[in-house]
Amino acid sequence: MQDVMQDVFVYDGVRTPFGKVGGALAGQRPDDLAQLVISALVDRAPELDPAAAGEVVGEVILGNANGAGEENRNVARMAWLLAGLPVEVPASTVNRLCGSSLDAAIAGARQIALGETDVVLTCGVESMSRAPWVLPKTDRPFPLKNLEAVNTTLGWRLINERMPAEWTVSLGEATERLRERHGISRERQDAFAVDSHARAGQAWAEGRYTEMVVEVPGVDLPRDETIRDGVTPESLAGLKTVFRRDDGTVTAGNASPMNDGASAAWLGSARGGELLGLTPQARMAGWGTAANEPQFFGYAPVEAADRALARAGIDWADVGAVELNEAFAAQSLACLDAWGFGTAHDPAIVNAWGGAIAIGHPLGASGTRVLATLARRMQAEGVRWGVAALCIGVGQGIAVVLERAD
């Protein structure tokens, strides 16, 4: 291991279009979706001979939030093998729920920085459509009572009774509590969601995602399935609240949908880029994680991003692009308010190509999506510094700071 840490660069990133739960990608296994983006990324590295990838790629690290269905048995390893790539390349799957694939990127960055390898393929996948129902095993054999199947698609399941009840409320109810604490109105949430759809639709129309999104064979899905054209504050105002009937504000329109999809990115040292034949897009300048009360998970990116900025040696005044995963409009707005967007900083730099309310949030795939989108945006916009951040269920946040490579 070397004495001086290496710089770590993002070289390229791809993803599938994101499908809605039960939609166009519901027939695709998650390990096949992960294999698809891995194969696409390998094909885009001009100096990488797939047959000799074992001599170049030090590790495959994939983020996945469920792990209870077809993505079991270390889906990172399964996807690499399904791609027909050399068996000598090791792989691991990490789970930090919604932040899983950004956590995978941070883990890969540490390996590169320490000189353990020059190239890591980092990725993420989730099929919320195919997340299984599970039956818990019984305490005693041959039970006479009925057993209840548990849906593993999203949120708490098989809860330990010793966990405080306020920690285990639904994600939507938790968001209602967060918006109450921070005074986020329904009108602001709906306006934020309108912008998400408008920006995503415009980005697709302008070809912003043309080089980032790979086609899923046999599937007619020309763009992310949950983007809606012509969404207005008036149309969203007519939607019923989901988690509270009388005083609720969170609706299906101002929250991210449930989705299927996969994403992947090349990380490497300067030498790694030569081995891949790729030019760096951005340097990973700092990263951070943070945690708070589980029911206020949506606010945890605030501290995570602040820590990442401190480690990069900059502050919010230096940042020109932000990719914040929009789990809910209310929690996104609470974070942006805390960082000073709308007052000290320009909110137009946040999710300029649309966010998860429109694009979708296939849990394990979202971290690499925001990282790769941020790197490409910074190149397109000539921005030096950028932040990618996500909130994470059970009260965590994660963030990465990028510096444009040129």
Q: Is 123 a catalytic residue?
A: no
d(CA 70, CA 93): 13
Amino acid, single-letter form, for residue 378? M
Strands (E), 178-281: 259-268
Write the CB contacts of 375 (distance below 8 Å, at least 6 apart in sequence). 10, 13, 281, 282, 386, 402
DSSP-derived letter for residue 167 is G
Among 368, 332, 330, 283, CA closest to 96? 368
DSSP run (H or E) holding 237: helix 233-237
In DSSP terms, which residues pair with 262 in a beta bridge? Answer: 125
Contact 254, 181 (CB under 8 A): no
CA nearest 322: which of 337, 305, 310, 338? 305
Instruction: Quickly tell me which residue has 């068996």 as its tokens.
Output: 87
- Burial 150-169, CB ≥16 within 10 A → b, else e: eebbbbbeeeeeeeeeebbb
Q: What angle do CA 12, 391, 339 make, to 5 degrees?
A: 95
CA angle 104, 366, 132 (to 5 degrees): 90
139: number of Cβ within 10 Å: 6
Question: DSSP letter string over 349-384?
Answer: GBSTT--HHHH---GGGHHHHHHHHHHHHHHHHT-S
Has 391 been annotated as catalytic? yes
Place of tokens 């919604």: 98
Active site residue 98: yes
Q: Which of 98, 123, 197, 335 is catalytic?
A: 98
CA distance linking residue 44 with residue 21, whole number of Å:
29
Ordered DSSP codes for 115-165? TS-SEEEEEEEEESSSPPEE-PPPSSSS--S----EE-SSS--S--TTS-G
Active site residue ranges? 98, 361, 391
